[in-house]
Amino acid sequence: NGEPGSRPGGRGQHGAVQPFSDEDASIETLSHCSSFSDAMSVAEEGGEAGEETAQEDLQYKLKVFIDSTVDKSAKTRQGALDGLKAAMATRILYEFISDRRMTITDSIERCLKKGKGQEQCAAASLACLLCIQLGSGIESEEVFKTLKPIFKNILLDGAANIQARQACATSLGLCTLVAEDDILDVYATMESFESLFMRSYVKEDGSRPSLNPQTTLLHTNALLSWALLLTICTGSQLKAVTHKHLPKLPRLLENDDVNMRIAAGETIALLFELARDMDPEFEYDDWEPLCDKLNSLATDCNKHRAKTDKRKQRSVFRDVLKAVEERNFQTETIRFSTERMTIDSWVRKRTYDAFREFVGSGMNYHLQANEFIRDVFELGPPVLVDAATLKSMKISRFERHLYNAAAFKARTKARNKFRDKRVDVGESDVV
């Protein structure tokens, strides 16, 4: 029973998956596709002709990856997904991807539905990178409309692979931020996240739920995605959320898992920042006990905790305590190319961390050349950089060509603005 769109003779993952053998036609090609460095070296050696060859080579490899996402071999599909992820994280590929977005979306859908564990995780991450490449607009909305129900089904299915659920929790959050076109649907997605992380809340009788580490990680990812979507909520929604969750979130600071404690702390700091932005006189009834708890975590000497956990926790909670107690934020400066960006709020930090989780070391490149990410962080159109400065950036000639080409196009074409969802519903908020 072949999968729709699979190669002749291919089987779905629920059939007997063949081992990754020399008989797989795509293996040799995929092995050459694991890195893009060969394309870069061709460009370096050959000037303009080399750049053109490298561009063609890159596009050929990307086409092979796309074709290989429907291969009968799970290992080949995994390699193809990982190859596309690496390319999208480190390149601006809008024109190439835009023409093939629904083909890629179909592959992601198939891998999410038919794949297992690792393949589903890779497909979920690729969905985010696809939306980051397309930016906020009709194209990414179209992709997300197809994938959102699948994300939600996996996320809320207790019988689904736990790693796949964890990946969907993170990907659904970022895809919603980028591509959701209706604020009410944003709230519905937030409620899906709440239905998960609230299971980590202390029970009515004061007892803490007993959960395994993988379930706690699912709840942590859900909480972080929920916090990301808080950054685009309307004032009335923020008031309702603060009233409902701020009294309960501090109990998550007692969780046995360091990452859950940190996620809870950062979410509390974010909620305080948003609440005070709306109402500078905002007051919280249990402010003193909360500050005591934050202080104890910022100075934690618990012998039963690992040293690295304690170090990480103390650093974060010193910042959270300053936010709650003194309304201070530990500003961080991100330098990229000839520019710099300041992370000067919890809203900005949560947004930056969410994007960086997917593009990784490619974040600085996206801050330079990705119009959409530059819009999110209010950096303006990409800056055209002179040849001498580009040379000093120690990137290949092909990379320099790509960068300035992206910057030039971005400055001359009409830019697709990142929508502020708060503005979108200003009128509809008054019923």
For residue 107, the domain's CATH number is 1.25.10.10
Q: Is residue 221 part of a domain?
A: no
Q: Is residue 222 part of a domain?
A: no
What sign results for the dihedral spanned by CA atoms 419, 420, 423, 424?
positive
| Alpha helices (runs of H) in 233-299, residue ranges in sequence order | 235-245, 258-278, 287-298
Q: Distance between CA 54 and CA 413 in Å, rounded?
A: 25
Show the tokens assigned to 264: 């809870």
Q: pLDDT tens digits for 125-177?
A: 999 999 999 999 999 999 999 999 999 999 999 999 999 999 999 999 999 99
Match 């932005």 to its residue by tokens. Answer: 277
State the pLDDT at residue 14.
34
Q: Is residue 201 part of a domain?
A: no
Q: Distance between CA 99 and CA 104 in Å, rounded?
A: 10
Judged by average pLDDT, the poorest of 165-179, 311-325, 394-408 is 394-408
Q: Is residue 205 part of a domain?
A: no
Residues with Cβ within 8 Å of residue 366, at least 6 apart in sequence = 92, 132, 355, 359, 373
Q: pLDDT tens digits for 255-268?
A: 999 999 999 999 99
Q: Is residue 84 part of a domain?
A: yes
State the pLDDT at residue 7.
31
pTM of the predicted model as reported, rounded to 2 decimal places: 0.81
How many domains does the chain contain in total?
Answer: 1
Give which of 55, 76, 81 is closest to 66, Cα–Cα.
81
Using DSSP's 3-state secondary structure scheme, residue 283 falls into coil
Q: Distance between CA 42 and CA 50 in Å, rounded?
A: 6
Q: Is residue 163 part of a domain?
A: yes
Q: Is residue 283 part of a domain?
A: no
Q: Is residue 120 part of a domain?
A: yes
**H or E stretch covering 107:** helix 94-114
Q: Distance between CA 151 and CA 127 in Å, rounded?
A: 10
Q: Distance between CA 285 and CA 390 in Å, rounded?
A: 54
State the pLDDT at residue 389.
58
Domain range enclosing 64: 57-181
Residues with Cβ within 8 Å of residue 66, at least 6 apart in sequence = 80, 84, 100, 103, 104, 107
